[in-house]
Chain A
Amino acid sequence: MILEPITYKGGLYRHEEMVELIEDLGGYIIQLQQIAGDIIILALVPKEDLDLVRAIAKPINGEVKVSPLVGTEIAVVSMSLEIHHLPHATCDVAEYLRQFGAKTNVIGLARGFGKRIAQLNVEERDVINEHDCAILLYGNFEECIRHKNPKISRGITVPIIATGAPDKEALMKCIDPPVEGYVGGLGRLAHRAKRPEELAKLEEMVAEVSRVLDLRRTEIYKDPLSVAPPRLMDLIIEKVEAIHEVTSPTPVTVQMAGLRVKLPYEVYADTLRNLELEQGVRLGDIADVTPSRMRTYIWVQVRPFSETKVMV
């Protein structure tokens, strides 16, 4: 069953019908958010049932949009938390990606600025590596990006998308070692991106991120995971009582090949490892349950079928 990532936007009235429909079709609700009288649902639904979902949404004034980034967690890496890099363009990028369903985390480096003095520390590197991909927001000069990139990208194992003011070709020339994606014309700004050409750049960035993540998805499909992360999320929500006490908007954050469970590792790691998913298969048999570098959370990395010979 191929799942299509969607965003449903509609009113509070009769939204339960949409929730039930997604569940009945065998889809997964990644996040359900209520903002005043509006409901936003990020979900995965079977591709062949997409028209049915649209048909059900129409009479209740709901809008269904295909969002290629639903079910991904993306690190938006700002070179610092100073006024030079925040809120523009870091927040513009993070906010725009969220519109396409991604869960974005802004990571402000302690010493990412400067041409000669830029550096990435071990904690920052580890936090970035817990995401599906990292967007490195570089500045306005080729000269700086050329010097800075080797230091900032060292040790990052997830796909990198580099952005900067020079055009795409110039970025490709000056970034060595090469990274997976490039978005030119998106450098340091002191105003919110609102002009048509700036919004076009953000669109280009979303397309580039989708392209890079599609390549990663294709790799995962070649050796499928022992359990699909959204299914695992449903099972954890169903079987681990404590997750209902978490006040975070996404107590379980879905990634492409894993999950971030927002429970303290010391207390709940063994509970998760021993969680029976299906007929004697425990979570610990098919996934690595490790401490996350983000707060005290738990990071679950699902192992592929070729390693476990189990498919849940």
Chain B
Amino acid sequence: MTGIEFFTSDCPEKTGGDYYERIAADVLQDMNLLRVISKLHVSVDPTVPLFIVVGVIRKLPGIVKVHDFASLQVQGNRITLSIGNETYLAPFLKFLWDRYGKANVEQPDRWTVVLTVPEGGAEGFEELPVYDPREDIFRDLMYAMICIQPEGFKVRKEAYVDGKFYFVASEDTLPEDVVERQVREKFALIGEEL
């Protein structure tokens, strides 16, 4: 697969394992996630049954702040924002409504937002975080894993720590220590440590 440096799979049934490798490649390609992942290991054991995916995510872009997509003019407690890039406008407006209330946020045209802030509220406004791309990527990644896994595996556990993620799913509830041990073993297979 283009984009992923290291991609392996293991399965007690060779044919089934090959099919799952193909399914994983197709789903990740369809969802444009191949460039996000650097290492991936897919493990399916239908006898338990257990489905484990462990992987490493490439370095992601940082948190988007106000100054990344807008310039501002401050006049007393009124801030006029000129939006340079509309991509983050929707989460930005939601953020402003939550923080200052809808009555204090005006949008006279597509590229302008006028804001009334409390006394001293304009200080450090440019540095406010608006959007964290890592959240979306992790959510997309977990959705992809749900599409890849065999259907009916309703008991799931997933996590994302320091650029590494894992996804475990089964039809049955499994002891916590068994899952943890298995995940550590799979990480070892791609040369990583949890």
A residues neighboring B (CB under 8 Å): 79-80, 82-85, 113-118, 139-144, 165-167, 170, 187-191
Measured between beta carbons, the chain B residues less than 8 angstroms from A140 are 13, 15-16, 19-20, 150
Are A117 and B23 neighbours in the complex by a CB distance under 8 Å? no
Q: How long is the Cα–Cα vector from A292 to B150 in the complex, in angstroms?
A: 33
Known: A118-B152, A141-B13. A188 touches B19 (CB 8 A): yes
Are B49 and A82 neighbours in the complex by a CB distance under 8 Å? no
Interface of A is mostly: loop
Are A115 and B49 neighbours in the complex by a CB distance under 8 Å? yes
Are B151 and A141 neighbours in the complex by a CB distance under 8 Å? no
Are B171 and A114 neighbours in the complex by a CB distance under 8 Å? yes
Can you list 10 residue pairs at the A/B interface with Cβ under 8 Å?
A: A80-B151, A84-B151, A114-B150, A115-B49, A140-B150, A142-B13, A143-B46, A143-B49, A166-B15, A188-B150
Query: Is there a chain A Cβ closer than 8 Å to B33's Cβ?
Result: no
Measured between beta carbons, the chain B residues less than 8 angstroms from A115 are 46, 49, 152, 171
Measured between beta carbons, the chain B residues less than 8 angstroms from A189 are 19, 22-23, 26
Closest-by-CB residue of B relative to A116 is B171
Known: A114-B171, A115-B171, A116-B171. A139 touches B15 (CB 8 A): no
B residues neighboring A (CB under 8 Å): 12-13, 15-16, 19-20, 22-23, 26-27, 30, 44, 46-47, 49, 147-148, 150-153, 171-172
A-B contact count (CB 8 A): 74
Q: How long is the Cα–Cα vector from A144 to B49 in the complex, in angstroms?
A: 9
Measured between beta carbons, the chain B residues less than 8 angstroms from A83 are 147
Known: A116-B171, A116-B172. A190 touches B147 (CB 8 A): yes
> Of the candidates B13, B26, B46, B151, which one forms a contact with A190 in the assembled complex, judged by CB atoms under 8 Å apart?
B26
Are B151 and A85 neighbours in the complex by a CB distance under 8 Å? yes
Measured between beta carbons, the chain A residues less than 8 angstroms from B49 are 115, 143-144
> Of the candidates A79, A80, A141, which one forms a contact with B16 in the assembled complex, judged by CB atoms under 8 Å apart?
A141
Q: How long is the Cα–Cα vector from A83 to B147 in the complex, in angstroms?
A: 7
Known: A144-B46, A190-B147. A114 touches B152 (CB 8 A): yes
Among A83, A84, A141, A188, which residue has the most Cβ atoms of chain B within 10 A?
A: A141
